[in-house]
């Protein structure tokens, strides 16, 4: 039996395989910043981060890894 894989992670893998830009799921980005998924969604809206839309879903999106890495680097300074 195949292990369960979250749908967002499947979309992320497909996107990263076909794009020059890397993306993260909202949950992964939140973990890097120490935020829950819900708090991360609020953080994204407040800071106008780029949302990479997922087709057929208005509420799901991926985030650019480069933007999250920059925020993490600035927090460590």
Indicate the number of domains in the chain. Answer: 1
Residue 1 lies inside a defined structural domain of this protein? no
| pLDDT value for 15 | 83
Range of the domain at 70: 7-76
pLDDT (tens digit per residue) in 32-75? 999 999 999 999 999 999 998 887 766 789 999 999 999 999 98
* Entry pTM: 0.81
Three-state SS for the chain is: CCCCCCHHHHHHHHHHHHCCCCEECHHHHHHHHCCCHHHHHHHHHHCCCCEEEECCEEEEEEEEHHHHHHHHHHHHC
Residue 34 lies inside a defined structural domain of this protein? yes
Residue 2 lies inside a defined structural domain of this protein? no
């Amino acid at each position: 039996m195949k292990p369960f894989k979250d749908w967002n992670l499947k979309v992320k893998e497909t996107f990263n395989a076909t794009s020059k830009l890397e993306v993260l799921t909202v949950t992964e980005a939140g973990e890097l910043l120490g935020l829950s998924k819900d708090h991360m969604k609020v953080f994204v809206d407040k800071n106008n981060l780029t949302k990479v839309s997922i087709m057929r879903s208005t509420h799901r999106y991926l985030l650019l890894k480069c933007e999250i890495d920059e925020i993490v680097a600035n927090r460590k300074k």
